[in-house]
Amino acid sequence: MHDDRSITEHRLRRVLKERIKPAVHSRPVPLTVERWEAPGEPVPVAEGLAAPYGPCAVGAQWGPAWGTTWFRVTGTVPADWAGRTVEAVLDLGFDRMMPGFQCEGLVHRADGSEVKALNPYNDWVRVADAAEGGERIEWYVEAASNPVLVEHSPTYEGDRQTSGDQPLYRLARMDLAVFETEVWELVQDLEVLHDLMVQLDGADARRYGILHALEAALDAVDLADVPGTAAAARARLAPVLAAPAHASAHRISAVGHAHIDSAWLWPLRETVRKVARTASNALGLMDEHPEFVFAMSQAQQLDWIKTHRPELFERIKKKVAAGQFVPVGGMWVESDTNMVGGEAMVRQFLYGKKFFLDEFGIETRGVWLPDSFGYTAAMPQIVRLSGSRWFLTQKICWSQVNAFPHHTFWWEGIDGTRVFTHFPPVDTYNCDLGGAQLAHAARNYREKGRGSRSLAPFGWGDGGGGPTREHLARARRQRDLEGSPRVEVEQPDVFFDKARAEYPDAPVWAGELYLELHRGTYTSQAKTKQGNRRSESLLREAELWAATAAVRVPGYAYPYEDLERIWKTVLLHQFHDILPGSSIAWVHREARATYARVADELRAITLAAQVALAGEGTAELVFNCAPHARRGVPAGGAGVPQAPSRPVDLAERPGGGWILGNGRLRVEVDGRGLIVSAYDLRAGRESVAPGQAANLLQIHPDFPNMWDAWDIDAFYRNNVTDLVGADALEAAQTGPDAAAVRVTRSFGRSKATQWITLRADAATVDIVTEVDWHETEKLLKAAFPLDVKAERTASETQFGHVHRATHTNTSWEAAKFEICAHRWIHAEEPGWGAAVLNDSTYGHDVTRAVRPDGGQTTTVRLSLLRAPRYPDPETDQGTHTMRYALAPGARIADAVREGHALNLPERVVPGAGPVAPLVSVAGPAADADGVGAGAGDGGDAVVIEAVKLAEDRSGDVIVRLYECRGGRARATLTAGFPLAAAVESDLLERPLPGTAVGPVAAGDAVPLALRPFQIVTVRLRRA
């Protein structure tokens, strides 16, 4: 037989495109169109309906960037269409290749209720399944003219304040038409079979069977009468569509989904509308297709619908009860997980799961995070403590170098907790259920022979849209189709139950899920990151002092509502394109303003509680919110600090510069303003590598191959400029408590001013760096070359730390050339170590070098600022103030203590006298021989992370603490109030059958026994 495959395939493509698809909507009749341009920001629906509309026509230009145009669409169904299926085709000027990234619309009835959304693959509106002749149509389309910002080139269209006012779109089609059901079904048959056929091997008999069936179907189509011959064509295809799948065919659980970034190339306010549009379409599909299941994550997005579209929310609640609309994820938003603080990650689950429980009576069982940029090793424990059982991610398939070895596995966190995890082999969270993607999932699946199933989230996403009727048609046809994986539309929980039952002994991956891409997100938009870190710290303070006042001060009311509202605001801004700095300028401009308001509110809450606690008096009380005592003030208490044991010495250094000393550290700053020595006097040990200088600012070119705000590519290191020239250098004794050296440097169009400070009795050298930053496509680093032979470093993460190798023996280690750390990085060799601390920096890199003298230098660098031009062309331009420090001789516990101290400043309030801590934690007392102060001592190993009142308004005190050193610890938690009971709880403050918390002993003390890095939540019931 002659091989004429290419001829038939080309014939199919042309006939589909030019004849069959256009015949789906026949006998078009133009609708009457009028328009109204909403001034400024979007208006309420009632205002849009009542607006003064003017004439408009197909072909008219409309929509400046970020504008809203309301279209009134009217018409009458022709009398001779009675009994026919009728639809309107409303094409706002869509580019079919970019769903979710351009103009969109929501259709309303005249009474304001929503009909459905319009987007590039969903431009139809059903009028009637069986029309009545003369039926009148009146709809109102709220059309958003969002600019297309996906070209990865600098643009000022990303902020309404700088965008242009020229119309971006042209109205393409506004028609009533007869919907030819049989033609539409033929399109689905042809596309599914064609997509399947081209995935089959060229020698596969099944491929040729499909080819000849397609040819026969095309022969049956009369191109002059497609509707009249579609049924005959479909009959030619029926036998090949009826052939069942092989017994061993891969099984795909298809879950309807619309990944909607809560902000990215659009502002938050537009996401509010995107989620309403997407949910509206999903609900419509559910009405027509009872088998359809749609999963929606992010409680925040559902809360937006509840607030702004209550009628839509009521429809959602009914579909949730029916099992079709499935809340998933259990988090407030799909947050970043690298930079979010430990307590904030807890609150993502607390408020997310609480929303689903309160609104729908549903306890979500899994974590749905397909698109975040890597996943912290602390996550498994947090997931399990939230009451969740499974974890789903997708983004790891984007890694540049190493292919992740599993698709179904147990993920083990830093404490040993494991969670069942799936990484869909379809390699997208916007699956179209087409033959290419399904075949890729089956081929790509790494668990062959042990497992047989995977999950595919289907539907248009990123900017929303969700599943379409075409997706469901593909799922139906491929449910049991020879040559294809078996496709079953079902809930995520059902898939995970089946996958776990099939493969309970799946392999284990221990540690972080590091994404070998998007490393620049640890640094981009420094003020957004700084706002997040400071908000987390301020929330800790506000809750601690408010809880203390609520227990101690009669009449003081704990601000439950204010704190919850502020928490949810901060959690929203931890979304994985806001906190990472990868959103448009509008998003970050609003974020900076929001963080400023949050800070003002939290300072006011904190001050009110502290004033209530301090009482009337003139003594200067220092409130210490940190989890460790400092200057004689206990953790979580207030008092008068101790005087320093000795003043700080300041002397000129031979050869230029200054020497600072406090009896613990001796610091030399040379004539260039660089730290050339930071000597640990107690250990007799130098921390700065010989011949090198610490606090060295370095600048690199930073122009990655793609994804400007997201990526740092390794080749940036090929060029570096050390900023060693000083414009000015001066020193000052700032009283007996501190001495400082001030250095100013100019470079490019920028300027940096640094204060290098040594405080009395301090174990750290503190550095404040103020940069007036006006560079573009540059990366600013601060280097600390340490005289330490470290095979690995420890980086703080949520409730503990992760170890990362300093060498690059394998491609896995080499790929981690930029890493994330929270408040500190620690490097040590047996007997001595040092830590580099920060107050708002997340990006770091660590390298090692062997010197001619045989010693090893371990260089820790902080990534201070970047200057990418997309999607915000003015990223980080302006003034920034960052604080960091070097802690010579630090152990891990010292790094934890100093990291908290740097991030939690003391507050001074006048008052009557000391304020005792509401709760305290201490390790077992040493015996006469000092036994008890070893590795099992809880004195500095157990750290209190949060103190608050219970969410249920019972007045119970919630204390969250963790083991910080990576070893077992015993400690005693003591309540500063009469205690009735202490109960170990989960993150939603419900009782757990845990073993970490012992019974209340005399003196309101609670014994604790923690495993390495264990998180324990204790609910203290007041007597």
CA distance 139 to 141: 7
CA distance 473 to 245: 17
Is-contact 277 464, C-beta < 8 A? yes
The pair of structure tokens assigned to 725 is 């020239």
Instruction: Let me know the angle formed at the C-alpha of 747 by 741 and 752, rounded to the nearest 5 degrees.
Output: 35
CA distance 692 to 13: 66
Q: State the DSSP code for 179.
A: E
Instruction: Let me know the angle formed at the C-alpha of 479 by 475 and 482, rounded to the nearest 5 degrees.
Output: 120
Q: State the DSSP code for 479.
A: S
Q: What is the DSSP annotation of 116-168?
A: EEEBTTB-EEEEESSPPTT-EEEEEEEEEEPPP--S-S--STTSTTT---S--
Is-contact 432 458, C-beta < 8 A? yes
Burial class of residue 110, CB neighbours in 10 A (0-12, 13-18, 19+): exposed
- Residue 14's contacts (CB-CB under 8 Å, 6 or more residues apart) are none
Query: Which H or E run contains 879?
Result: strand 878-888
The pair of structure tokens assigned to 687 is 């921390």
- Pick the catalytic residue from 371, 432, 711, 872: 371
How far is C-alpha 974 from the chain's CA centre? 36
CA distance 677 to 690: 9
- Residue 407's contacts (CB-CB under 8 Å, 6 or more residues apart) are 422, 423, 424, 425, 444, 445, 446, 447, 451, 454
Nearest C-alpha neighbor of 940 from the set 918, 915, 960, 970: 970
User: Number of C-alpha atoms within 13 angstroms, CB side, residue 211?
Assistant: 20
Query: Which H or E run contains 86?
Result: strand 86-91
Nearest C-alpha neighbor of 240 from the set 217, 209, 216: 209
The pair of structure tokens assigned to 983 is 């109960």
**Residue 371 annotated to the active site:** yes
For residue 179, count other CB atoms closer than 10 A to its CB.
Answer: 21
Query: What are the φ and ψ backbone dihedral angles of 652, each rounded to 5 degrees?
Result: -70, 145
Q: What dihedral angle (degrees, nearest 10) is formed by the CA atoms of 437, 439, 444, 449?
A: 140
The pair of structure tokens assigned to 814 is 């080499």
Residues taking part in catalysis: 371
